[in-house]
Structure 1
């Protein structure tokens, strides 16, 4: 999807009519869904991965709901790939206009443990994405 978004040439978007944020049209609470993120979240002041572990997880049954929700979110992204790529392309346009630094995709670690064909695809994706990002304005 990221490669699709980088290859799109979009016309400038037309500004929309503003909304009245002070008077909501619908006051019912909206149902929340798990969203499969296409871009990494901005880092905060202290990464959670460096925090001490509060408790050690015990072996036992695993709740299937989070895994099922992530699977459904991924299937939704793949089902509407063109729409998601267009949305991501608009986001990338805004990032470039705002002067955000060019992202760099690191090679996948431990590809030698994958099957040879999957390792080749994993390595090819990182180089293809970095080549597509080459036309990003240099901020350095």
Structure 2
């Protein structure tokens, strides 16, 4: 949303331009920024997409199709996907991978009831 507001503001500046040359420069700048923005998001989706899909399938299977997030949120897949992407990034920074996330989460799920376990969801695991 913030990017859309910025883009709108920049387009309004183009409309206020005094000369055609000034408008052309501003439009060229906007187009370049949009290309960079799109490229960034495509690379991110390409980089994490398969890992997130793999982990999402594993996570749903682990909970027999009804993970804790499915009870409290209408768009729980988005919430779980975001948590998984963040976990992948954190684990990569520490030199670990997807299998380490699985192993650590399964250990977390085996915890006895208490504050640290929470509802046992992946979003809670990411928080702890």
Shorter-chain TM-score range: under 0.3
TM-score (ref. length: structure 1): 0.24
More helix by share: 2
Looking at CA atoms only, which structure, 1 or 2, has the larger radius of gyration? 2
Greater length-normalized contact order (CA 8 Å, ≥ 6 residues apart): 1
